[in-house]
Amino acid sequence: MLFDTHAHLNAMQYSEDVEEVIQRAQHEGVSYIVVVGFDRPTIARAIDLAEQHDFIYAAVGWHPVDAIDMTDEDLHMIEQLAAHPKVVALGEMGLDYYWDKSPKDVQKEVFRKQIALAKKVKLPIIIHNREATADILTILQEENAQEVGGIMHCFTGSFEVAKQCIEMNFYISFGGPVTFKNAKKPKEVAKEIPLEHLLIETDCPYLTPHPFRGKRNEPSYVKYVAEAIAELKGISFEEVAWKTCENAKKLFGINR
Ligand SMILES: [Zn+2]
Ligand SMILES: [Zn+2]
Which residue ranges of the chain lie beneath pLDDT 50?
Answer: none
**This model's pTM is above 0.85:** yes
Q: How far is the CA of 35 from the centre of ligand 2 (A)?
A: 9
Q: Which of 153, 161, 151 is nearest to 177 (CA)?
A: 153
- Specify whether the backbone of 131 is left (phi greater than 0), alpha (psi in -120 to 50) or beta: left
Q: Are 190 and 175 in contact (CB under 8 A)?
A: no
Give the pLDDT score at 109: 98
Measured distance CA(138)–CA(110) in Å, rounded: 15
Centre of ligand 2 from the C-alpha of residue 242, in Å: 23
- Give pLDDT, residue 147: 98
Residues 53-105 pLDDT 10s = 999 999 999 999 999 999 999 999 999 999 999 999 999 999 999 999 999 99
- Using the mean position of ligand 2's atoms as its centre, give its distance from the Cα of residue 91 in Å: 9
Please tell me the predicted confidence (pLDDT) of residue 95.
98
Note the pLDDT of residue 256. Answer: 86
Ligand 2 centroid distance, CA of 52 (Å): 21
What is the model's pLDDT at position 133? 98
* C-beta of residue 248 within 8 angstroms of C-beta of residue 2: no
Q: Residue 39 Cα, ligand 2 centroid: separation in angstroms?
A: 11
Residue 151 amino acid letter? I
Q: What ranges make up the beta strands (E) of the chain? A: 2-7, 30-37, 56-60, 87-96, 125-130, 150-152, 170-174, 198-200
Q: How far is the CA of 201 from the centre of ligand 2 (A)?
A: 10
